[in-house]
Amino acid sequence: MNENKAAISLTTGLEDTEKVTVAFLVAVAAAESGRPTTVFLTKEAVRLVVKGVAVGTACAGCPPLESLMERYETAGGRYLVCPICVNSKKLDPGTFISRAEMGGTVQLWEWIGDGATTFSY
């Protein structure tokens, strides 16, 4: 297994489905290649891990967001969800999909440890 970690920071939700799709294409590729992968969700992106929210297709020829998220989960990808953002939007963490956990920048840095390849969307 490739131990080079990948961290993808996503601030955008369904208001920009193309950006979300690109972020998930990167995350899926990292996770499916065996990299431990975390998607750090902030701002509007925190809504994506609420069950039933992340649906749709960004463009003609783009894969559906649901299938990208399924592939990401199957490959072992996880989500770190900003608690400040969740609380400000009054979201219930009990409604999150599997592999999503509350955690902020401290938890992200703890997970990164000695390093990770990072992407920001």
The structural architecture, per CATH, of the domain 6-108 is: 3-Layer(aba) Sandwich (3.40)
What are the tokens at 111? 């997970």
Amino acid 2: pLDDT: 53
pLDDT tens-place string over residues 50-76: 999 999 999 999 999 999 999 999 999
Q: Report domain extents, the chain.
A: 6-108
pTM over 0.85: yes
